[in-house]
Amino acid sequence: MSYILTMENISNLRRRFQQLRFSANILTNCRNNNLVFLVWHSLRKTGLVMSLDNGGVHWMANVAMASFLVTTVMQIIDLFLSINDPDRLFECFSILSFCGLGVIKLLSLRYDGDQWRNLLKEASKLEKEELNNENLSPLDYESDNEDEYSVSKYYVERYTKAFNATFKLLTRIYLFTEFVYITSPFIEYALFKYKNPEIVYYPHILPLWTPLDDVVFGYILTILLELISAAYCVSVHVAFDLSAVGLMMFIRGQFCLLHAKSERIGGKGKKYNLSKTRDLRAHLRIKNCHRLHIVLVSLVKQLNKLTKNILGIYFYLATITLCLVAVQLQSDLSTTQLMSLLQYMMATLTQLFLFCNYGDAVLNESTVGMGMSPQGSAWWCLSPRVRKELLLLGIGMSRRYELYAGPFFSLSLPSFIQIVRTAYSFYAVLRQKSS
């Protein structure tokens, strides 16, 4: 019995050591602005994915989640109570659509957390393999001096740098939106109270059913729930959007790397004589390109499975929300209300554009045309057998892969234009009817 306990202690110490080493690697990669670990860092802030290995949910995340769900239900009640008030109804629906989508994203991160973690671990493993593959011995890659720079390192640094810029932009947009939306009701109340000191009403962060406003403690409790819910809703949106966009940028960057590597299969092509060494090198590179293509196709399918339904709902809600915000801008608004609506509309458009832009990038980079990638390599200095392998690789890489938003939309720039046009059409119809 003591021997079993001793072995268990050793196993626990070994597991603890691995966790500490994993945490140290996380800190090192975060300092180096590694894409996968920046995505994981944003997920960790929600408390839903505490570790890429074991997952886990923080207890504070459960508290915030409960507050978020309670306030969402209160918003739904207020939506039905505001049927006879069009302005209030538009306001409730606009905010409820944002919070409702946050609930859907929250459920995805909570109950599909294992799939998100596996996707991130596969991406991290693939990136490390591609960087390490360039450290093969010179004998394995004996060539006509075409390896003048590290192609994998170049493309990894390029898409990591692009993600860092997107990471900062999206985070700042959401934080600014959160700050403006939380503070604007109280600023408006202070200005209103200064002009009309005799009128008393209770400002709220979110448009929701407030049965506890008659009691001071009840009002404070409601405001506290609204504050936690608003902050956590933004945190969930940031985590989900950065995860989806970050993985899109990673896949797009790896496809670019695949194209660059497949173009170098035959070397520079300056030597026309057939060589067994060159054929062996080309065969090895074809195998590596084929393996990379299979992994990337798998990542696209996994990401599409996780985001398709959520982004489909988001596209419909974004269309209606943009229309309703445009209608509200035509009404008599205070300065704070105008600022809140404008920044909310701009944040929605920016978020929508990011999804469509990087989805379009994945679509365009996932395929190759005539004279590109394998077909653009130096095939003339390879033997007929290797040329057939090169042709099969080119056929496999010629198929394009799309990310979808629901059953009708694909993530592409034409879809973004279509949504903006549809929203404006709805707005024109509502404005014509109201006039």
3-class SS string, the chain: CHHHHHHHHHHHHHHHHHHHHHHHHHHHHHHCCCHHHHHHHHHHHCCCCCCCCCCCCCHHHHHHHHHHHHHHHHHHHHHHHCCCCHHHHHHHHHHHHHHHHHHHHHHHHHHCHHHHHHHHHHHHHHHHHHHHHCCCCCCCCCCCCCCCCCHHHHHHHHHHHHHHHHHHHHHHHHHHHHHHHHHHHHHHHHHHHHHCCCCCCCCCCCCCCCCCCCCHHHHHHHHHHHHHHHHHHHHHHHHHHHHHHHHHHHHHHHHHHHHHHHHCCCCCCCCCCCCHHHHHHHHHHHHHHHHHHHHHHHHHHHHHHHHHHHHHHHHHHHHHHHHHHHHHHCCCCCHHHHHHHHHHHHHHHHHHHHHHHHHHHHHHHCCCCCCCHHHHCCHHHCCHHHHHHHHHHHHHHCCCCCCEECCCEECCHHHHHHHHHHHHHHHHHHHHHHC
* pLDDT (0 to 100) of residue 3: 40
Task: Tell me: pLDDT of 296 over 50.
Answer: yes
Residue 165 scores a pLDDT above 80: yes
User: Worst-scoring range by mean pLDDT, 125-134, 164-173, 402-411?
Assistant: 125-134
Shared-domain flag, residues 346 and 241 = yes
| pLDDT value of residue 5 | 47
Residues 27 and 152 in one domain: no
20 and 51 in a common domain: no
Question: Does one domain contain both 304 and 249?
Answer: yes
Same domain, 75 and 11: no
For residue 135, is pLDDT > 80? no
Residues 23 and 143 in one domain: no
Q: Cβ distance 122 to 299 under 8 Å?
A: yes
Question: Looking at the structure, do residues 308 and 373 belong to the same domain, yes or no?
Answer: yes
pTM of the predicted model as reported, rounded to 2 decimal places: 0.83
Higher-confidence residue: 387 or 16? Answer: 387
- Domain shared by 89 and 12, yes or no: no
Asked if residue 23 and residue 114 are part of one domain, the reply reads no
Which of 126-130, 205-209, 242-246, 373-377 has the weakest average pLDDT? 373-377
- Mean pLDDT check: name the lowest of 36-40, 136-140, 142-146, 407-411: 136-140
Q: pLDDT value at position 44?
A: 83
Q: Is the pLDDT of residue 32 over 60?
A: no
215-224 per-position pLDDT tens digit: 889 999 999 9
Task: Say whether both 387 and 322 belong to one domain.
Answer: yes
User: 50 and 22: one domain?
Assistant: no
Average pLDDT in the chain: 81
pLDDT at 24 over 50: no
Contact in structure between 233 and 99 (CB atoms under 8 Å): yes
C-beta separation of 265 from 390 below 8 A: yes
- Which structure tokens are listed for 266? 């035959």
Query: What are the pLDDT digits (tens) for 324-360?
Result: 788 777 777 767 667 777 777 887 888 889 899 999 9
Shared domain check, 71 and 5: no
Task: Give yes or no for residue 361 having a pLDDT over 80.
Answer: yes
The domain of 157 spans: 35-434
The number of distinct structural domains making up the chain is 2
